[in-house]
Amino acid sequence: MSRDEELKLRWQGLVTKLSNQFADGEQLDLDAIIYLIGVQELQQPHREYKKDHKLDLMHIAICRVLEPYGYYEFSYIDDEGWPHYKVKEQLPFLKAGEQSILMKEAIVNYFLEVEYIN
C-alpha cells in the first residue's frame, strides 16, 4: 500500500471515529478536528469559548501538530493555562491541496502519538 493510500485510510478512519464520538456520526471537517485538538491541548474541555478563543484553539492545534515537523517549538504555558509556541521555521508555500495533505498527515500522526488510533 502506498503512503498516500495509507494516509487516506487512516484519515477516513480517524474522521469516522471522531465524528461518532463528538458529532453523533455527522462527519467532522478538517477545521472541526483542528478545533478538537486545540481543546485537547488546552485541557479545559468543559469551558465555553468565544469566537476569538476558538481561533486561538485552532492556532494551538496547528502549532502542536506541526511541531514534530520542525515548524514550531513549544515555549511556555501562560497563567491562564494556554500553551504558547514559537516559530522555528516558516512554513513553505504550499498549494491548497498540498496544505490539506500536510495537515491531514500531521493530524493522523498526532492521534497516533496520543494513541487515539493505531
State the chain's mean pLDDT as an integer. 94
89: left (phi over 0), alpha (psi -120 to 50) or beta: beta
What confidence score (pLDDT) does residue 56 get?
96
Residue 30: pLDDT above 90? yes
Neighbours of 14 (CB within 10 A): 20
End-to-end Cα spacing for the chain: 16
Phi/psi at 70 (5° precision):
90, 10
pLDDT band (50, 70, 90) for residue 48 = confident
Instruction: Provide the residue ranges of all domains of the chain, joining segments of one domain with +.
Output: 3-113
- Which value, in Å, is the radius of gyration of the alpha carbons in the chain? 15
pTM confidence score: 0.92
The three-state (H, E, C) secondary structure of the chain, written as one string = CCHHHHHHHHHHHHHHHHHHHHCCCCCCCHHHHHHHHHHHHHCCCCCCCCHHHHHHHHHHHHHHHHHHHCCEEEEEECCCCCEEEEECCCCCCCCHHHHHHHHHHHHHHHHHHCCCCC
